[in-house]
Amino acid sequence: MSLLDDLRVTLGSVAVLAGDSIPPRHLSDRSATGGRVPLAVVRPRTVAQISAALRLCNDAGVAVVPQGGMTGLAGGGNPSGGDIILSLELLRGIEEIDTAAATMTVWAGTPLEVAQEAASEAGLFLALDLGARGSCQLGGNLSTNAGGIRVIRYGMAREQVLGLEAVLADGTVVTSLNKMLKNNAGYDLKQLFIGAEGTLGIITRAVLRLHPPPGAITTALCALDTYEDVVRLLRQAQGNLGGVVAFEAMWRDYVAYNCEALKLQLISGDHRFWVILESTCDGAAVEGFLAGCLETRLIADALVAQSHKEARDFWSVREGLSTEALPNVVVFDVSLPTARIGDFAEICRAALRQRWPGAYVFFYGHIGDSNLHISVSAAYGPGEDMHSVDQLVYGVLKGFGGSISAEHGIGTLKRPYLGQSRSPEELALMRKIKAALDPKGILNPGKVI
Ligand SMILES: Cc1cc2nc3c(=O)[nH]c(=O)nc-3n(C[C@H](O)[C@H](O)[C@H](O)COP(=O)(O)OP(=O)(O)OC[C@H]3O[C@@H](n4cnc5c(N)ncnc54)[C@H](O)[C@@H]3O)c2cc1C
């Protein structure tokens, strides 16, 4: 019998899609770099089915590519052709919310937004949040160790996980659904799977840490004239105002482009930097703090949102959907020491514009987390493609001691540059861990390492 026959017999034929019945959404994540056709898409409903499917694929030596909501930006969920897609979309739902422990036990295929709403209905708060919340799944969030807009206050996805269940390449189910904040009983195995982008095991369930709801949030938009002032504002807001739950910076060109596309005029004047500052302090406290910053000329201007609509307007500029629509746009996700981000942006912009005059080069990001995004759209010459910019950007980054991935992961897109951010010893250890957990190399081959 062929592998496909075995999978159909074991999981039921409705769980196995092949040929023309494979929906196109399984061919590429949001990096739009996929397109190869897998042997089949398998959609299990239980952990036992996942275990059985992996055992069959491992015995047959056929590659397995796990997929969540396919909102990834690094090509991690893309099939390589002839492989088995393991879609987690039917393994969904909230198993339990434990209000005493302030935890949620959730299946991996649950969309992030569904989990957020369930936490909120229980009077608690799931701190993980990102723009793709409606489509991404918790298994994908944990596999990429997603960041998002609340990292400055609550940490990355990793910090929200207390327990995990994962299925290894040979079908072994490792259930470790710990609910305690403290548990130092040996190696913290869950950390192996978080951020591994599906190369070490399939995440099936997780116990997430919940928090008290942050209450009302005040949103302000500040205009500043130097990058040094941006960093000073960050530290003063954390030290003197408090309750900072978001601190997002945008460079002038990015704001101008998005405001024009959105027909918004937020603050008049030509300022080099813009910051969205969110705090759990009330409007009066934020206004008082910003008045002090205006007096000392730390900021040039500021606007405190008076309505949910006004706050949404600030965020719609930051989300920058219009820049995403530019031709051949490449989005970078780097991190580097906070104090050096301003200089890096200047040097990087100059180098890109010298090589591709007229290119759009936008900088923005979670500056409170040392995380900068860069969007580049250029007209490429013969023999070049949109990823010709990668080498240049990562080359400049190298001189600043930065990381090639702050939160989106490595996938296939950044794999050639991993050695820039990790030492030979670190890479050798990663390979040893991979070989120990997945000796036949069937789990998401060609991704990460
Ligand atoms: C509009 C938009 C905004 C975004 N904002 C952010 C942001 O602020 N911060 C951020 O970090 N990212 C952001 N992203 C990127 C993306 O949403 C995240 O990487 C997200 O965590 C991916 O989840 P997913 O379910 O879509 O995973 P997928 O794209 O399906 O998969 C991602 C990786 O995880 C693996 N995987 C998926 N599920 C499992 C599983 N159950 N077990 C093992 N491996 C698995 C896949 O093989 C792949 O390698 C954004 C994307 C978009 C489109």
Query: Residue 410 corresponds to which tokens in the numbers above?
Result: 């490595």
Number of folded domains that form the chain? 4
Question: Counting beta carbons within 10 angstroms of the beta carbon of residue 284, is it exposed (0 to 12), middle (13 to 18) or buried (19 or more)?
Answer: exposed
CA-closest residue to ligand 1 atom 9: 148
Torsional sign, CA 349, 352, 355, 358:
negative
Instruction: For residues 331 and 316, state if they share a domain.
Output: no
Using alpha carbons, select from 112, 200, 117, 121 the residue that is nearest to residue 160: 112
- Ligand 1 in reach of 34 Cβ (< 6 A): no
Distance 206 CA to ligand 1 centre (A): 16
43 near 15, Cβ under 8 Å? yes
DSSP states of 357-387: TT-EEEEEE-GGGTEEEEEEE----TT--TT
**pLDDT at res. 35:** 87
Instruction: For residues 263 and 176, state if they share a domain.
Output: no
**pLDDT at res. 387:** 79
Instruction: For residues 8 and 110, state if they share a domain.
Output: no
Instruction: Classify the phi-psi angles of 19: left when phi > 0, otherwise alpha if psi is within -120 to 50, otherwise beta.
Output: left
Query: Residue 165 corresponds to which tokens in the numbers above?
Result: 């269940």
Q: Which atom of ligand 1 is nearest to the CA of 448?
A: 49
- Ligand 1 in reach of 30 Cβ (< 6 A): yes
pLDDT tens string, the chain, 449 residues long: the values are 799 999 999 999 999 999 999 999 999 999 989 989 999 999 999 999 999 999 999 999 999 999 999 999 999 999 999 999 999 999 999 999 999 999 999 999 999 999 999 999 999 999 999 989 999 999 999 999 999 989 999 999 999 999 999 999 999 999 999 999 999 999 999 999 999 999 999 999 999 999 999 999 999 999 999 999 999 999 999 999 999 999 999 999 999 999 999 999 888 889 999 999 999 999 999 999 999 999 999 999 999 999 999 999 999 999 988 888 898 899 999 999 999 999 999 999 999 999 999 999 999 999 989 999 999 999 888 888 887 899 999 999 999 999 999 999 999 999 999 999 999 999 999 999 999 999 999 999 999 99
Query: Residue 328 corresponds to which tokens in the numbers above?
Result: 């051949």
Instruction: Let me know if residue 441 belongs to a domain.
Output: no
Distance 190 CA to ligand 1 centre (A): 18
Q: Which atom of ligand 1 is nearest to the CA of 72?
A: 29
- Ligand 1 in reach of 416 Cβ (< 6 A): no
Query: Residue 299 corresponds to which tokens in the numbers above?
Result: 């900021």
Instruction: For residues 144 and 176, state if they share a domain.
Output: yes
Query: Residue 277 corresponds to which tokens in the numbers above?
Result: 């500052």
Whether pTM exceeds 0.85: yes
Query: Residue 168 corresponds to which tokens in the numbers above?
Result: 């290894």
Instruction: For residues 283 and 181, state if they share a domain.
Output: no
Domain finish residue from 299, 321, 343 = 321
Report the C-alpha gap between 241 and 182 in whole angstroms: 31
- Ligand 1 in reach of 412 Cβ (< 6 A): no
Instruction: Let me know if residue 46 belongs to a domain.
Output: yes
**pLDDT at res. 380:** 87
- Ligand 1 in reach of 68 Cβ (< 6 A): yes
Using alpha carbons, select from 140, 128, 138 the residue that is nearest to residue 29: 140
Distance 141 CA to ligand 1 centre (A): 5
Coil vs helix vs strand at 397:
helix
Instruction: For residues 198 and 162, state if they share a domain.
Output: yes
Instruction: Let me know if residue 172 belongs to a domain.
Output: yes
Instruction: Let me know if residue 229 belongs to a domain.
Output: yes
- Ligand 1 in reach of 148 Cβ (< 6 A): yes
Instruction: For residues 26 and 58, state if they share a domain.
Output: yes
Q: What CATH number is associated with residue 120? A: 3.30.465.10
Q: What CATH number is associated with residue 418? A: 3.30.70.2740
Percent of the chain whose predicted confidence (pLDDT) is above 90: 92
Query: Residue 83 corresponds to which tokens in the numbers above?
Result: 């492989």
- Ligand 1 in reach of 371 Cβ (< 6 A): no
Q: What CATH number is associated with residue 25? A: 3.30.43.10
**pLDDT at res. 59:** 98
**pLDDT at res. 245:** 95
CA 421 to chain CA centroid, Å, is: 18
Half-sphere exposure of 378 (CA within 13 A, CB side): 27
Instruction: Let me know if residue 18 belongs to a domain.
Output: yes
Distance 113 CA to ligand 1 centre (A): 13
Distance 146 CA to ligand 1 centre (A): 7
Instruction: For residues 76 and 112, state if they share a domain.
Output: no
Instruction: For residues 99 and 66, state if they share a domain.
Output: no
Domain finish residue from 188, 209, 230 = 209
What φ, ψ does residue 174 adopt, rounded to 5°?
Answer: -105, 105
Instruction: Let me know if residue 244 belongs to a domain.
Output: yes
Read off the amino acid at residue 333: D
Residue ranges making up the domain that contains 257 = 218-321
Domain finish residue from 46, 64, 87 = 87
Instruction: Let me know if residue 439 belongs to a domain.
Output: no
Report the C-alpha gap between 263 and 322 in whole angstroms: 11
**pLDDT at res. 328:** 87
Instruction: Let me know if residue 433 belongs to a domain.
Output: no
